[in-house]
Every structure is written in C-alpha cells, then in structure tokens.
C-alpha cells in the first residue's frame, strides 16, 4: 500500500479545498492518503510517506504563512529522501512569486518536485478542482 501525505495550511479554506481534491485524486485501491493540517503534522508524517503534497497560499508579501507553514518547511531542511513531492496553493492579487520561490527552495534542498507547483486564484472552481485531482493521481502514480 502506498502511503501519501497531503499537508497544508489554509486560512479561509481555498487551499484546504485544493488539498481535499488532490487527496481524492491520489486515493485508490493501492494508495492510502492522509490529509493533515500542518498544525497536526509532524516531520515524520512528511518524510516517511511514499509521496508528499504540501499546500500553502500566498501570504505576507509573497511568502509562505509564517506561523505554522514556514517553520514546518524549515524543519524539512536536510531531510531530502527522494520521494516525489508536489506543491500547491491559492493566491489572489500576486503573480505566483511565492510558489516560484518555494519550488526553488525545495529543489535547492535536493527534494524531487514532480512538476511546478499548482496555483489557483482564490476559490478553486470545477476546473481547478479537476486539476487538483489530476495532480493527486499523478503523484500517486509516481510512487515506484
């Protein structure tokens, strides 16, 4: 059974909707998906999974949410383990700069990002939710 972890922070629920759709896409007879708010997640939940999805909206001025997600991402530093990872999150008025920086940071630390992060403006619509499900499916399929 593949173990897939989806760990996210969401203030107003948009990234949470993305997390749930991604998890629905990843689930299958051979895949067990754990969806966790970052406040309930441990480093082990992330690095002992067979695949990992991390979600956070653009906050501050194009940065990760600083109270919970930023420290969690910091705690993953030095923990690279080769599992496939995807990033996702909602934004509003920006151009996705927070996600570009997050991708670069993860790649510089040696993590294997399956593809560029999935970003959706505000609340995901049906098309956005379908993109999240497709990403979840791709993440599950990437587990060897």
Task: Please tell me whether residue 87 binds ligand FMN under the rule CB under 6 A.
Answer: no
- In the shown chain, the binding pattern of residues 97 to 126 toward ligand FMN, with x for contact by CB under 6 A and - for none, equals -------------------------x----
Alpha-carbon distance values, 56 to 1, 26, 134, 141, 143 (Å): 27, 18, 18, 23, 23
User: How many residues lie near ligand FMN (CB under 6 A)?
Assistant: 19
Q: How far is the CB of 22 from ligand FMN (least distance, A)?
A: 13
Residue 42 contacts ligand FMN per CB under 6 A? no
19 touching ligand FMN, by CB under 6 A: no
Both ends of the chain: CA-CA distance in Å? 11
In the numeric block, which tokens belong to residue 18?
């993305």
Which stretch, 30-38, 40-48, 87-95, 127-135, contacts ligand FMN (CB under 6 A)?
Answer: 87-95
Number of other residues whose CB lies within 10 A of the CB of residue 50: 18
Work out how close the CB of 132 gets to ligand FMN at its nearest, in angstroms, rounded to a whole number.
12
Question: CA-to-CA distance for 109 and 78, rounded, in angstroms?
Answer: 7
Please state the closest distance from residue 18 (CB atom) to ligand FMN, in A: 8
Per CB under 6 A, residues contacting ligand FMN are 10-16, 57-62, 90-94, 122
């Amino acid at each position: 059974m593949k173990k897939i972890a989806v760990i996210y922070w969401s203030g107003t629920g948009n990234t949470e909707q993305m997390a749930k759709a991604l998890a629905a896409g990843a689930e299958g007879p051979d895949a067990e998906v754990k969806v966790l708010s970052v406040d309930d997640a441990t480093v082990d939940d992330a690095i002992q999974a067979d695949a990992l999805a991390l979600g956070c909206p653009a906050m501050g001025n194009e940065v990760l949410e600083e109270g919970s997600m930023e420290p969690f991402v910091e705690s993953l530093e030095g923990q690279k383990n080769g599992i496939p990872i995807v990033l996702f999150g909602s934004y509003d008025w920006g151009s996705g700069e927070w996600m570009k920086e997050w991708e670069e940071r993860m790649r510089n630390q040696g993590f294997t990002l399956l593809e560029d992060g999935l970003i959706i403006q505000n609340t995901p619509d049906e098309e956005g939710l379908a993109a999240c499900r497709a990403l979840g499916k791709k993440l599950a399929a990437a587990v060897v």
